[in-house]
Amino acid sequence: MCPAAVNDGDRRGYIIPIGGGEDKGPSPSILERFVDIAGGSQADIVVLPTASTLESTGPLYEEIFDGLGAGTVSSISIGTREDCNDPQLAERCEKATGIFITGGNQLRLSTILGGTDVAQTLRRINARGVPIAGTSAGASIMSEHMIAGGDADQGPSEGGAVLAPGLGLTNAGVIDQHFSERYRLGRLLSAIALNPFLLGIGIDEDTGAFIDADGMMDIVGSGTVTIVDGGDLKYSSAHSANRNQGLGMLGLKMDVLHEGCRYDLNMREAFAPPEDS
């Protein structure tokens, strides 16, 4: 699934995958920047807590964004596919200047949102300039191919990553979250082994990847973003490996970016912060 087409005169909005555990105060740099991009004091932010089963999740982010000076914030309770096809809820998203998708269970997100009016609205408004941020599960669902599960704390293996369709806000890569904290390099490599052209994007907690319309990614937060590039892979054993067998992968390229680093998703090139260039 390709990202929705951009109409003449429009410019695609930011997509902002966050690795989970973002600072919510006293120095919430990631959330502050999202509010600023969404319009600051004029922002109209919709929070989608669908991935979470906790009733407190939506109100928590309402309070946070209100405290950061957003003009209007509302949490939409979407718990079923029927909700996602409610014209009033889709219309509320249509009017937003920023969308925030909370953490929880990404399969809950994909099975409830996938292919619905709300999902199509999110794709359409992002194509016309509305930024969409998501933390943890909300980050994973942004890509065309979503990591829905898999083994952590081990090397790449056949079956080491479970994939499902995502929202398709980007088809440049596949996103994983809580990356260093939950030792997920192996499952990201397992995903890349299945389609080496994809970029693997592993985002640590309290770290956001701000991706603009030109595919330039800026890193904000206290952790790192790991980029695994299999575009020049010379060999992968994924096609012949038995279930749970370790995978061989030759010719991978890896970059690890901290705050201030940038990465061009189109050119597949990393850049140091300006003062270190």
Q: Give catalytic status of residue 94 as yes or no.
A: no
Angle at 276 between CA 135 and CA 228, to 5 degrees: 45
- Whether pLDDT at 152 is above 90: no
Catalytic residue, from 144, 158, 205, 236: name it.
205
What pLDDT is recorded for position 200? 97
pLDDT tens per residue, range 95-122: 999 999 999 999 999 999 999 999 999 9
- Whether pLDDT at 276 is above 80: no
Residue 4 falls within a domain, yes or no?
Answer: no
Catalytic residue, from 136, 143, 157, 236: name it.
136
- Residue 273 pLDDT grade (very low, low, confident, very high; cuts 50, 70, 90): very high
Full residue range of the structural domain in which residue 121 is found: 15-265
Under 8 Å between Cβ of 37 and 31: no
Q: Give catalytic status of residue 236 as yes or no.
A: no
Residue 1 falls within a domain, yes or no?
Answer: no
Phi, psi dihedrals of residue 258, rounded to the nearest 5°: -110, 180
Residue 89 falls within a domain, yes or no?
Answer: yes
177-206 burial: b if 16+ Cβ within 10 Å, else e? bbbbebebbbbbbbbbbbebebbbbbbbbb
pLDDT tens per residue, range 171-222: 999 999 999 999 999 999 999 998 888 899 999 999 999 999 999 999 999 9
C-alpha–C-alpha distance, residues 150 and 163, integer Å:
9
What pLDDT is recorded for position 277? 56
Catalytic residue, from 52, 140, 157, 178: name it.
178
pLDDT tens per residue, range 217-257: 999 999 999 999 999 999 999 999 999 899 999 999 999 99
Count of the separate structural domains present in the chain: 1
Q: Give catalytic status of residue 275 as yes or no.
A: no
Residue 54 falls within a domain, yes or no?
Answer: yes
- Whether pLDDT at 66 is above 60: yes
Residue 270 falls within a domain, yes or no?
Answer: no
Residue 8 falls within a domain, yes or no?
Answer: no
Residue 43 falls within a domain, yes or no?
Answer: yes
Residue 90 falls within a domain, yes or no?
Answer: yes
- Whether pLDDT at 51 is above 80: yes
- CATH number of the domain where residue 178 is located: 3.40.50.880
